[in-house]
Amino acid sequence: MDDAELIARIERLVEEEHELRGREESEGAGDDDRDRIAQLEVALDRLWDLLRQRRALREAGRSPDEASLRDTSTVEDYEQ
């Protein structure tokens, strides 16, 4: 997946997350919506991490294709 595809995927997931959060605020969210929001948050964290890896590799003069999608536990344990 190249950067453009990765960014497009992130944008689609962000759009879905915003839609669900808007519904949550106006109508209240059910368990399915809350579960999906949690899934989206994790998926977005992983995709943003992948994009950052690709950019860092490129800046270091290496191939961005060396980047890999990290597992959930790795990405979710990062300190902010």
The candidate with the shortest Cα–Cα distance to 7, out of 71, 51, 54, is 51
| Number of domain units in the chain | 1
Number of CB atoms found within 10 A of residue 39's CB: 13
Q: What's the start-to-end Cα distance of the chain, in Å?
A: 26
Collapsing DSSP states into helix, strand and coil, what is residue 33?
Answer: helix
Look at residue 26 in the predicted model and tell me its pLDDT.
81
Q: Which helix (H) or strand (E) holds 19?
A: helix 3-27
Running along the chain, 80 residues long, what does each successive block of 10 average in pLDDT?
Answer: 95 96 82 92 96 97 96 78
pTM of the model: 0.87
Q: Which domain holds residue 13?
A: 3-75
Residue 80 falls inside a structural domain: no
Q: Does residue 42 contact residue 76 with C-beta atoms inside 8 Å?
A: yes
Residue 11 falls inside a structural domain: yes
Look at residue 1 in the predicted model and tell me its pLDDT.
84
